[in-house]
Structure formats: structure tokens, C-alpha cells
Amino acid sequence: LSLLLSLHFMTDEVIANFGTHYEQQYAVALFNNVRFDIEGGGGPQPQLLHRKVPLKNKAIFSGALFQYVEESKKWRKHFIFIPNSYGISSYESKAAYEKGQQPKGTIDCAGYRVLTSMDQYLELLGSSLPGEAKVSSSPFLKCATQFPLILWHPFARHYYFCVMTENEQLKWSAVFQDCVRHSNNGLSEESKVQTPAFTDAVRLYRQAQGHYGTWDMMCGDPAQILANLVMEKLTPELRELIAPRLKGKMHEKQRSWMLISDAVYSLVQSQAQAQYKALVQRCEAGRPQLEASIRTDMDQIITAKEHVTGKIRALVFPKAEKLLKVSIQPYISSILEALMEPTSRGFFEVRDVFFKELVDMSKNLLNEGNKEKLGEHMEKISMLAFHPVKMQSCYEKVEQLSLEGLQQRFDVSSPSVFVQRAQILMREQTDDAVYTFEQLLHQSLEGQEGEELNKIIQRCQDRVIKKFDYDSSTVRKRFFREALLQIFIPYMLKQLSPSCLPELPKFQELIFEDFSRFILVETIFEEVVLQTVMKDIMMAVKEAAVQRKHNLYRDSIVLTNSDPNLLLLGENPSIDWAEEYGGKGEDEDPEEEDQADGDPEVQKRRRMKQVVSMIQLDGGSPVPESCLEVPGVEDIPEVNEADDYTQSSPDVVTKIPNGTSCSEANIEASLAASSQAAPSLTNGSLLKETDVQKDKFTAPTEKISVEPEEHSPTDSESSKAIERAIQEIENAVQEEDLENESSEASPTSQEPEAVPSEEEPSPPTKEEDSLEMNQEEATPQSASDSLSKQEQPTANSNSGNHDDSGFQSPTGDVTEGGRPKAGAEHAKESDSETGEKDSGMGGVIEPPIVAS
């Protein structure tokens, strides 16, 4: 009871002190907001469009994991579902989720860290144990597999998961890190008054307690941040009170401390949420009156503030200038370079990932260039920014940010504050680029129906990449300025406050009482310090832009050829590519739809599309869903692809050009389907239907080697029929040439040397198979085609383009005199050049095309 009372009074004390700062900063933030609305201002106009509701009717991820249950102290397989709010919900099974049952628990990831080894976890747990620094070698739980996933929080409860493979651990880790990243960014940037007032109040409260510099626990929504603020003060006292009462072994003490801390944190958070809500309501109630006073006396308030600012600047500037020259200026360039290098690499990786997605789509549309396929690809690309696995390579570039030596000199706790901010900006830029490309492409498709899709895609892609480069430079320069201010300003305030703060109250007398709520001397003091160092920071960033470091643009560069009508497209809602171009989704099961007709909630859950798809097995298999081998980062299969993947044989796996792993049977089926839809390959050759059914394939961009099999008698008879047809066609051509030409021809020259003997058929070699895909002209497809040519030799001889000489080379070769080579002669020369003979079994023979 005494602990609860002490906890309640301490929370009230912290919230009351914070509330005083918040009410003061609320009036200042309201004045700045109204002044900005009247005077205007701001930086360069962004070129990319911004999506207002990016994840409408979308889910992030779902799948099965082993989770440690505290109540039963056992590992259970649970179905994990992550909605667009990025909360991790745990269900007993997938069926429980689809039926609309309540989850067993939901994790708000704000303030958590994702750990992938027990050693990391035990080290953090040992450092938080009250009065103990020893790391226990026997933790209070044993991981069920070698691949754990642990969510650690300094105050709240910890959560334990595990998977069966390393690839899946990487995938789930990327998803969990994205949940943490999104949840930490809990303060809305749309609120132009409440958010600045809140952040300034937290900073001033911590400075009053002697804590300057960045703060790792400035994460989550306001109630969570206030709870972290209380726990920062309460935890040392709680350790002294709890430590003597903990009994048992080391791992038992660790577990008890974690549970006690979680219970206290929950109570503090609930109390902070209620009191902050009342504080905001009280400030919002007085906002109309404050705003009316500001608009009435705006000019007088600005004049009074400028007068007081001049007085305070005369006091602070000499001291700040001296401190700046000695302790700040020598480090600006080196710290800026440390920030620019990993951040720019991350933004460049974003550009490459986005560009690669568009190039892959263009390649896939070369053969099947219809709008239905375009809709399928765009449905996936539209959520690229929120695909944590595909974006992981971009985030990892920024995680290399190192600010060694700043922790002691400038009171920077860790670079995690800057890393997460840069990652959030990268995700926003990616979604802006994708959304702009969507709107431009959709507009182009409506206006030009007859144009090729690839040309339209290329044109839109070039425009978006150019706009992305410009906006990326603007966003990075703003990020560098803000990061440098976050590093230097707290240090300067800490050094200048002891000598300057005692003299500030005398300047308060210069402010009229009616204006005192909007003009605070402490705020003006910080603004003067900021203006002192801001000039050097702006100069350093500008110099980096002038030198074109990391592809930064100068401030004077403005895109003048921007589409003036582009901003109008930003008002359009997000495009549902699957519904508009793709029809009914491939992953919808008619039987499940019939079963769910009576329950709209079940229909909604089943139709909800995921940004990242999870490979799953349905019932009956001893292997859980989380134990499957997950493909690489580049090719995360969607729902329909996952079904094919899980049904393939695990013994024979081949790599097809786009990087997706599948069995030989799936390769054969996919190639057969692609040949029916688009028979033309990228190298210009034609893949025949009979060739698709064979066991040797040559993909458009990558050759797949499969051991040849013996040909059946049916194949031999077909090849012999082709040879006979070719022989008779050539004989007819020779007889016609003898009748029409006046000059004598040698009989040996008419001998068809390119035709193999019928009595000695030879099986095709691998070189001949590869040669088939490099032919530039079509050949007879089957024995029936050859027989039809045999019955109508005249028609076949007249088909195709021809010149005045009466012969047309299949490959367009010409003789030295400029005349095309004869068909038999060309075949003979080709045979001698390649050193191979055409085979009637599997090879493709090119008969000479003769014009009458």
C-alpha cells in the first residue's frame, strides 16, 4: 500500500511540473502558428506527392510463431497478426483470428528493442537488475530453438518468440523492427500546436532536472512519453525499495524484477494518460480566447518580442560566440560528414530499390504487356515503402551511423535517435515516390490507350526519379541541420545556463502583462543561442551542397519544369490496381467466400491484403508455419505464390530468372503458361509449343540446365517426317530453278548437305539445344506443319519477303557481291562455321525459303 501511494504521489508531482511547462509552451506554440499562417514562409516546395492514408484496408504481416507464455511457462505456437496500426496481436490459431475472436494479447512496440540472441538479452537484463551487475548464466527461460526473437523494454514486460530457420528470423526481425520504428514515431506532425508544445515542455522539464541532450525514451504517444518521464525518476527509488526483498537465484530475481517493473509502468501510464488528457482539454478550451488576442495584438507582440530579444542577445551573444569558436566550430564539419555518409547511402539504396522494382515490372511486361498484369505488379509496388523486408537493406545503411566520442563531449546518449528519424524520412520519401508514380501512370494510361506500356512506364519513371533526387536532397539537408542542432544546442545551453539564467528575470519586466503569455524570456534565451550556432551550421551544409557531396543540390536550384497540374493529382484517392485492372484477386477462395457470407467481419478479415505475405501450411502437417524456408529479400512470395511454393518438392529446387525458388514442375508449368500468352522471347526467338513440353528449357534471361532424357519413338517419327518434307521441298525448288534458269548448275551443288541421314538419327547435344534459342527465324513446329508444306510447296515457296535474285537468306546474310546466299549454300556454310550438324531428333532445322 505504501508503494502504491508513493507511486501515485510521484506521478502527480511529475505531471504537475510538466503541466506548468506545457501550459506556457502551448501559448507560445499557438502564437508561432498564427504568425506563420499570417506571414507565411517555409522551404522549397516538394516535387513528390504525399499519400494521406497509405495503409487503408491493409495489414502488414501475419504468420505463426512459437511464443513463450508466462502463465504456463511453456512455448506455444500462436498466430501473429500485425494490422496497419503496427500493434502485434497474438491469437491461438489462424481460425480464431478469422472468426473475429479477441486476441490473447496485443503489444505496443513503442520503446522496445528487437534482440536476436540470448546473450544480448541477458546483458541488458543483468544491467537493469537492482543492485546486481552480474549476468546470470542460467536464464529463467530456455529458448525452444536456436533463433530467438526477443522484445526488450527498460520498464515494460518483455516478450519472447522463436523460429526454426535463420532466414525466417531475419524476416520476422525486420517486421518487428518496423513495428518499433513506427510506434516510436507517435507524435503527430499534423498538430502544429500540441506537438511543439509537448516536445518543448518535455525538454524544459528534463533540463530543470539537469538532463540535457538527446533522450532515447522520447518515443511513443504522449502518455507513453510521460510514463517514461516518471519512470526515469522513479526507477532508482524503486530499486532501492525492491532490491532487499527479492529472494531466490539470480534468474528468479531477474524475472521478479521484470514483472514488478511492468506492473508499475502500467499503473503510471494509465495515470499519466488520464492527467494529460485533462491538461490538453483545459488548454484547448482557452484556445479561442488566446487566438483572438494574438490576432488583435500581433504587431505589438512582435515589436515587444524583438525589443526584449535585442536586450537578451547583448547579454548572451559574447559568451555564446566564445563558446562557439572554442568548442563547436572545430567539430561541425566532421560530425556533418559522419551524418551525411550513412544517411546518403540509405537514401541512395531507396532510389535503387524503387528503380529495381520498376525495371523488374517492365521486364515482366515485355511478353505479357496487358493491363491485368500491370495491375498485379502495381498492387505490389504500391506498398513498397511499408514492406519491411524489402526496405531492410535501406535501413541497414543508416544503422551504420556512428558518433563515437560525442557521448561524453556533447551529451549524446546514442545515435539511435538520429537513425530512427532518418529511417522514418526514408520510408516517407519512398511512399511519396511510389504514390507519385502511381498517379502519373494512371493518368497516362487513361490518356493514351494505344501506346506501349513500357514506354509509358519509362516516361513516368524518369519524371519520378528526377523529382525524388530533388526532394531527397531537400529532406537530407533539413535532417542534417536538425541533427546538428540537437547535438550542439543542449551542450551550449548546459554551458551558458549557469551564468545567463539568473539574469533573465530582469528582462521579464520589459514585457507587458497582456503579452507575457506569448513572450517568455527562457524561450528567447534559447532562440538567441540557436541563432548563434545556426549560421555556422547553415554554412557547413551549404558548402557540402556546393561541392555536390552525396548528390546534394544547392539551395538556389529549383525544378522549373515541374508539372503545374501534378498537385491536383495529390487530391485523388489511392488507386486500387487489383480492382481496377486485375479483377477478382487470385487469393480469394470461392468456398471460403460462401462460408463467410453470413459474417461481414470474417469477410473483411479474409479479404484484407498484406504488405508482406507469410508462407503457411494448412492443417495436417507436423511442421508449423513458421518453420518453412523463406525466400530471399528480393522475392517475398505473395499469397498465391506461397501456395505454389509450399506444394513444390523440397528435393529438386531450381533458380529461375526472377530469383524465386521453385521445383522443376513449377518451372515447366510457368514456362508453358508464358509461352501461350507471349510466344516471343526476349532474344528474338520463338518458343514452340512442342519445345515447351520437352525436358530442356532455356529461359529468356537465364539458362536452366536439366539432364536430357531419351526420346520416344514418336519423337523419332516426327523428326523423320520433318526431314522428308524438307527434302521434298528442296527437290522441288531445285527442279524449278533448273527450268527457269538458262545457265547450267552443277548437280553436286544441289545436294542438301544440311539434312542428316534418316537411317542414323542422332540425339541432340546440349550445344544444339542452346543453339535452338538463338535462331532468328521461325521453323516448322510439328510434323503436320511439314506435311502441309509438302502438299503445297508452291505456297510455301512464295511466302516471306524476297529480293530480285529469287533467294532470301533466313538470317539476312549476303555474299561479297551484295547478293543473298542461296539457301542450301548458306546452310552448308553455317554448318561449317558452327562445326555442328543439325539433328532430326531435337534440333531445329531451318529450311531455305525460296521465292519463285
What is the per-residue pLDDT for 674?
39
Q: What is the pLDDT of residue 447?
A: 62
| Segment 513-527 mean pLDDT | 93
CA distance 522 to 542: 30
pLDDT at position 657 over 70: no
Kindly report the average pLDDT of the chain as a whole number: 74
Distance CA 305, CA 518 (A): 9
Question: Would you place residue 275 in the very low, low, confident or very high pLDDT band (cuts 50, 70, 90)?
Answer: very high
pLDDT over threshold 70, residue 816: no
- Taking only the tens place, the pLDDT of each residue in 144-186 is 899 999 999 999 999 999 999 999 999 999 999 999 999 999 8
Length of the chain: 852
Query: Given pLDDT bands bounded at 50, 70 and 90, which one contains residue 302?
Result: very high
CA proximity to 378, closest of 588, 622, 577: 577
What CA–CA distance (Å, rounded) separates 105 from 99?
16
Backbone phi, then psi, for 733, in 5-degree steps?
-65, -40
DSSP 94-160: HHHHHTTPPPSEEE--TT-EEE-SHHHHHHHHHHHSTT--PPPSS-SS--SSSEEEEEE-SSS--EE
**SS3 letters across 565-621:** CHHHHCCCCCCCHHHHHHCCCCCCCHHHHHHCCCCHHHHHHHHCEECCCCCCCCCCC
Q: Give the pLDDT score at 522.
A: 93
Name the residue with higher pLDDT: 137 or 494.
494
Does 58 score more than 50 pLDDT? Answer: yes
Q: What is the pTM of this model?
A: 0.70
* Cell, residue 279: 491538461
Distance in angstroms (rounded) separating the CA atoms of residues 342 and 394: 10
**Sign of the CA dihedral running 219, 224, 229, 233:** negative
Say if residues 478 and 542 touch (Cβ distance below 8 Å): no
Q: Inform me whether the pLDDT recorded for 329 exceeds 80.
A: yes
Q: Using CA atoms, how far apart are residues 482 and 534, in angstroms rounded to an integer?
A: 10
Give 555-589 pLDDT, tens digit per residue: 666 655 556 666 666 666 677 777 777 644 444 44
CB 799 within 8 A of CB 843: no
66 versus 567: which is more confidently predicted? Answer: 66
d(CA 641, CA 341): 38
Asked if 281 and 19 count as a contact pair (C-beta separation under 8 A), the reply is no
Residue % of the chain over a pLDDT of 90 = 42
* Per-residue confidence band for 411, with pLDDT thresholds at 50, 70 and 90: confident
Element containing residue 537 per DSSP (H, E):
helix 521-546
| 115-138 tens-digit pLDDT | 999 888 888 887 776 555 455 555
Q: What is the CA radius of gyration of the chain?
A: 36
What crossing angle do the helices spanning 166-184 and 416-447 adopt, rounded to 10°? Answer: 90
Task: For 813-828, give the DSSP string.
Answer: -B-TTSPBPPHHHHHH
Residues 53 and 443: their CA atoms lie apart, in Å, by: 20
65-96 burial, b at 16+ Cβ within 10 Å, e below that, comes to bbbbeeeeeebeebbbbbbbebbbbbbeebee
Q: Sort 723 into a burial class: Cβ within 10 Å, 0-12 / 13-18 / 19+.
A: buried
Where is pLDDT greater, at 515 or 631? Answer: 515
Q: How far apart are CA 278 and CA 848, in angstroms?
A: 91
DSSP 8-state secondary structure symbol assigned to residue 165: S
The helix or strand, by DSSP H or E, that contains position 206, with its residue range, turns out to be helix 194-208
The answer, yes or no, to whether residue 740 has pLDDT greater than 90, is: no
Q: Where are the alpha helices (DSSP H) in 741-822?
A: 766-772, 783-791, 793-798
Contacts of residue 603, defined as CB under 8 A and 6 or more positions apart, other chains included, come to: 593, 596, 597
Looking at residue 72, what is its pLDDT?
84
Residue 147 or residue 448, greater confidence: 147
User: What is the structure's pLDDT at 844?
Assistant: 39
- 406 neighbors 720 (Cβ within 8 angstroms): no
Res. 486: pLDDT tops 60: yes
